């Protein structure tokens, strides 16, 4: 059973906050990266809440868990992209540390939620 509204999910709200952080962070990056690293960071960030929302709309715990795992994959991608941005000097070390800490927390919470959805799927015997 999907939540009444995706906005009721704490992980979705945290993912929206992550998108805001990603956009704020990339505003000052070099113009030549607008179609490169900047675009990639923004797409990966947007993928997190949109996959959570799509999974919520699927109606089955198994499908929900699958889309949540896709969101987790996007978070790992984003973590790597922030590390690259830091190494290239596009983001300050402290900002990269803060963004990656936010991601680590969200990854743990989201992965735990996916395990819960898998447990629900197994309990009711549905895909």
Q: Which residues lie closer than 8 Å to 65 by C-beta, 6 or more apart?
A: 55, 114, 115, 117, 118, 121
pLDDT in tens, 16-35: 999 999 999 999 999 999 99
d(CA 110, CA 103): 10
List domains and CATH numbers for the chain: 6-124 (1.20.1440.60)
Q: Residue 124's pLDDT is what?
A: 67
For position 127, what pLDDT does the model report? 55
* CA-closest candidate to residue 73, choices 97, 51, 58: 51
Q: DSSP class of residue 90?
A: S
For the stretch 53-79, pLDDT in tens is: 999 998 788 888 899 999 999 999 999
In degrees, to the nearest 5, what angle opens at C-alpha 92 toward C-alphas 90 and 93?
120
């Amino acid at each position: 059973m999907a939540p009444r509204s995706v906005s009721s999910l704490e992980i979705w709200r945290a993912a929206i906050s992550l998108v805001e952080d990603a956009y704020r962070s990339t505003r000052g990056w070099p113009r030549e990266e607008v179609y490169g690293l900047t675009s990639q960071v923004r797409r990966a960030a947007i993928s997190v809440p949109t996959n959570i929302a799509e999974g919520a709309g699927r109606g089955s715990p198994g499908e929900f868990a699958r889309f949540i795992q896709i969101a987790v994959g996007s978070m790992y991608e984003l973590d790597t992209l922030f590390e690259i941005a830091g190494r290239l000097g596009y983001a300050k070390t402290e900002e990269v540390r803060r963004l990656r800490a936010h991601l680590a927390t969200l990854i743990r919470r989201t992965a735990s939620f996916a395990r819960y959805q898998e447990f629900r799927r197994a309990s009711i015997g549905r895909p």
